[in-house]
Amino acid sequence: MKKVVLAYSGGLDTSCIIPWLKERGFETIAFVADVGQGDDFSAVKKKALKSGAEKVYCLNLQEEFIKEYVFPALKAGALYQGKYVLACALSRPLIAKHQVLIAKKEKAQGLVHGCTGKGNDQVRFETTFRLMAPEMEIIAPVRIWEFKTREEEIEYAKAKNIPVKVTKKSPYSIDTNVYGKAIECGILEDPWAEPPEEVFTLSKNPLTAPNKPEYVEIEFAKGIPTKINGISYKPVTLITKLNEIGGKHGVGRVDMIENRLVGIKSREVYENPAGTILHAALSELEALVLDRETMQYKARASHKYAELTYNGLWETPLKKQLDAQFDQIHLRTSGTVRVKLFKGNCLVVGRKSKLSRYKKAMATYSAGDKFDQSKAEGFNALWAMPFKE
């Protein structure tokens, strides 16, 4: 029998994949990645074995996820279509990387994922597979198997002694990790329908959020958030804390039509309290400390970085070169930003840094003005000159 490693979630699809592969001559090692989805991992492991896996790996990847994926994307200012913090997209190359490492250690011949043929995730997994382990076979059962409906899959699962939850299935397809949550399908497939309140679990409805604003101070060191209200936190705890604080005020809800890599448009709803706060705060700090040309250049690079991440091109030369640029740019972005959270809004109301480029003497309209207005006439004349004739 050939050995393969499967990215296993404990859901119906990836559970059915295990006996399905066995029928085709593959023994499966299940790999469960803990990226903060909050599942009961000992139950997930048991289910993998019950479904027929030879062995199960479960790795806590949360810290690596925040430090090596979420923070670089934050430093890059990467927001797909200007809105999506890429929480799901960032987790895929990480999961795929560890899957390949396990496959190599286990001398497996193949890599298996449970993605459909319509989504972005298949591309993110497979690009990492193909770059890190070009010799390995890739199998995507959900794209090719015989089951047409969920009911058929459940029948198959029962026949194979896979425990099937009798609870009514949620109409939504949900992906959660420690950074944020993505929700699609069900009524959300109607772009005109407002997302029902039930899809939101990380953020309160702004209507019932506190009637008093909350001020939060976030300290950054070279573009990395390190403290909340003066207290240092480790990366995962910092994100979890900001998700709680922001969520309490209904911050971080996103509703958008998204251009998928495979060419279709889809309606996506996200909850990202921490990501929303951090992107808003860091970009304001940048405005304080970066020169104008760097800021303008960075905005273009951010756009590209978001596309590369969304499109599964994380492990590529350009993305790595951009990381090096952002590291350089962020040598200056140390300082503190004060945000005000209120009824779904996150407003930056204060920023300070030892490396601030803001010079009060140049900006002021009051006493102490050092700006030499006599130079302005010549400046104005030359500025318009090329267009005048």
Angle, helices 292-310 vs 273-289, to 10°: value is: 150
CA distances from 326 to 88, 108, 288 (A): 22, 37, 16
Kindly tell me the burial class for residue 82, based on how many C-beta atoms sit within 10 Å of its own C-beta (0-12, 13-18, 19 or more).
exposed
Picking from 91, 112, 263, the residue whose alpha carbon sits closest to that of residue 175 is: 91
- Which one among 13, 126, 153, 184 touches ligand ARG, defined by CB under 6 A? 184
Q: 15, 51, 91, 92: which one is catalytic?
A: 92
- Which one among 37, 99, 120, 302 touches ligand ARG, defined by CB under 6 A? 120
Residue 65 CA to residue 177 CA, distance in Å, equals 10
Decide if 173 is catalytic: yes
Site track 156-175 with ligand ARG (rule: CB under 6 A), x = hit: -----------------xxx
Decide if 190 is catalytic: no
Question: Site size for ligand ARG, by CB under 6 A?
Answer: 11
Decide if 92 is catalytic: yes
Q: b/e per residue, 247-266, with b = 16+ CB within 10 A?
A: bebbbbbbebebeebeeeeb
What does the block give as tokens for 20?
């399905």
Q: b/e per residue, 268-280, with b = 16+ CB within 10 A?
A: bbbbbbbbbbbbb
Q: Please, which residue, 61 or 88, has the CB nearer to ligand ARG?
A: 88
Q: Please, which residue, 52 or 72, has the CB nearer to ligand ARG?
A: 72
Least distance CB 173 / ligand ARG (angstroms): 4
Q: Which of residues 83-112 bind ligand ARG (CB under 6 A)?
A: 88-89
Q: 9, 13, 15, 266: which one is catalytic?
A: 13
Least distance CB 85 / ligand ARG (angstroms): 10
128 near ligand ARG (CB under 6 A): no
What does the block give as tokens for 137?
């076979």
- Which one among 13, 268, 284, 286 touches ligand ARG, defined by CB under 6 A? 268
> Judging by DSSP bridges, how do beta strands 345-352 and 224-228 pair with one another?
unpaired
Catalytically active residues are 13, 92, 121, 173
Give contact residues for ligand ARG (rule: CB under 6 A). Answer: 88-89, 120-121, 173-175, 182, 184, 258, 268
